[in-house]
Structure 1
């Protein structure tokens, strides 16, 4: 009788060796005393696609993906029973944070304590329970909808992006905000997801930049990025980290034309670009969701961005993003830079 238990880490090590030797799925199944369908499902779920289009099965990556999937499944229905987590979630909902930002920040602040790891879906499910609906917690959501609606945002196509480099390969000095000149990019959508604003925020100084785009596509996005970064000195534009939307399909042109590196966050992990998301949240104060950006001039947009960049920030020791940006650039170039 075949073993019905889940595939173990040891079996994944053997499976990786067998596939490297060129064995068929059926032969791998025979050697592991598994049904061929189990092997096929394992390879399909836990392999990864390289930039050259080749699929690879690596045991350590497969085990990590499986453990992450298992953990998410176990915690998908978890309510806010931890009083510390409950207090954090409710406080930050009142601050206007999205459930995704709250869940991501908790995980970021407690990377070694899974007791604090909850999903955005857990928070949404809690908000839309009958008791919380009566208390009006949905009012703290940006859409303020009493009933949940199916999201109709643009789809993410990770495999469609050529020369994609994962955020997991981003240098540690960038991750720790030890080096100046690294940005996070995103698209703020307008009415009906057609037009929008491409935004970038520098990770150390929190300098914010943006350009209107008539359509959310790769051509408009790379054009906006070029207009943002071409004005900057090289030390101020070393890299940007993006999401996996099709509008970032032409990211490699930043490397070709401006010698900038590009990194991509994991799918459905907006918290990995939390700096930019916070900037977009500030922008939404001026341009709420549903804004028709065709009715907003470029001059009006830049006035708003300048106001954001001249606002003192606690995280910057109450300096403004413009002040920190210029001071950091002076250290690298010895010149003041106004953008």
Structure 2
């Protein structure tokens, strides 16, 4: 039996060519690889890796062309669990299902495999029919899931395009009203995207979906929308602000959040909630010394934390009406040394690791 495109595209009566799905086996035992290959090669394209390093190279090379990974728990170099951890942190397990294989049958091993993103666990000795059936079912399930994801993604892309157009208009309003450079708004979106990508690679602590990341990037353009309610003479003042003027300037966080909150019809939408958190919280600081609410640590929405760091860096290198710009290197050191207030340590690590890429991208 083979899986065809017709098996995936339910309701499609067009005749399609048979597609042989690719299976990657990572196992340092030549005997085990040979057994599994013999079981599966008639129906699938089987590729093999004899150690973790070679396996990761193949994963990076073939990407989503790999329909399934059969991964031995105990392999040379890195363990199978370490490979699975790498895949999970890189977001690969979302697209490539992993079946762990081992002669270890303890509950702790099996539970750990599932916790790290494996979809199944097969113990030795192998039973041909069991292996074949579980491999086939997993591939068919993920193939259908990918098709549904593509349909959802197309709808989301169209919706995102509409959001970008409307937010583009608002960006022009903000720039016109505030005398604020449109480049700053563009840079914030670029920096937010870069920081989020690195954050997702570095930790699964925040577990943001693709759509949530896109909503944070989209909403980042609105972080200073509340400045439309601040007097122009304060926004564009070239001298140091007085305490009274500084306090009024701080009100832009509450004004922006209020504008979004007043959209009663949409305020329960996730995009609006994310935008609200960013508008209100992008001047909060990780140690609780920010404003307007003095939130501390992860009480600050992660979207607001990312935008806060992006905003601070870009304002340092772009300058402000009452502050001169600094070099990229100076800005990086100021953020690292907490001269601009304390940011989430994990985010700062991400920022420092991609600082060269940021400089190249924005220049």
* TM-score normalized by the length of structure 2: 0.28
Q: Which protein is richer in helix relative to its size?
A: 2
TM-score (norm 1): 0.29
User: Which protein, 1 or 2, shows the higher relative CO under an 8 Å CA cutoff with sep ≥ 6?
Assistant: 1
Structure possessing the higher radius of gyration over alpha carbons: 2
